Amino acid sequence: MTPPLILEPTQPADACVIWLHGLGASRTDFEPVARMLQQRLPTVRFVLPQAPTRPVSINGGYRMPSWYDILAMSPERAIDRPQLEASAHQVLNLLDEQQAQGIAPKRLLLAGFSQGGAVVLHTAYIEADRPIGGVLALSTYAPTFDDSVALSDGQRAIPLLSLHGAHDNVVLRPMGRSAFDKLEAAGVEAQWREYPMDHEVVMEEIDDIGDWLAARLA
């Protein structure tokens, strides 16, 4: 297993963001974004894990970095749930490692783009029942959420920032909005940001992420 890329801040770390890349990408995908954010947040460590390389059914079985197999594209996604759950437990282990290094639970945050976002939503709001500082869900969806999401008090206390492109043709806007709406209805402190973009990340979005992280970690 490829170890995560760890970006240490310029000052002693007192917070950490674990950030998962999307399908077919790598642990370096969000390194430039993380380094930009560290210029504003000089005590935040970023941990960028690498998905295993495995066959992806919707891509004809071609092997690529993937947090879980996608079996079909409809109705929203048919997925290999045990693989997603295994990836979620990998994230939980990273949270444990950061806490063992002295980062307080409320200063540990999860972020994920596209498929990586699906994993962090599952980790925070289904698998975990522990205090963490928040979740950043970028251009993503929640294939493991039922029509209504039953949360514990601890899960309900995890704030969410959902960010999505109005013109996203990979993870359609309604898929992202559905995940957001379910968590908001369950009582999560949830915010939605939408941008005139496709399946990508833009500078305005990075600025909004920086504002949100700064507020959470103040």
pLDDT surpassing 90 at residue 149: no
The better pLDDT of the pair 130, 215 is held by: 215
Total domains in the chain come to 1
Structure tokens belonging to residue 155: 């899960």
Output the pTM of the full model: 0.97
Would you please indicate which residues are annotated as catalytic (active-site) residues?
Answer: 114, 168, 199
pLDDT value, residue 166: 98
pLDDT value, residue 75: 62
What distance in Å separates the CA atoms of residue 130 and residue 33, rounded to the nearest whole number? 27
Provide the mean pLDDT of the chain: 96
Tens-place pLDDT, residues 74-89: 666 799 999 999 999 9
What CATH number corresponds to the domain at position 52?
Answer: 3.40.50.1820
Residue 73 banded pLDDT, cuts 50, 70, 90? confident
pLDDT surpassing 70 at residue 195: yes
pLDDT value, residue 200: 98
Please name the residue that has the structure tokens 């009582």: 187
Supply the DSSP string of 155-172, one letter for each residue: HHTS-EEEEEETT-TTTT
What distance in Å separates the CA atoms of residue 66 and residue 52, rounded to the nearest whole number? 6
- Residue 76, domain extent: 5-217
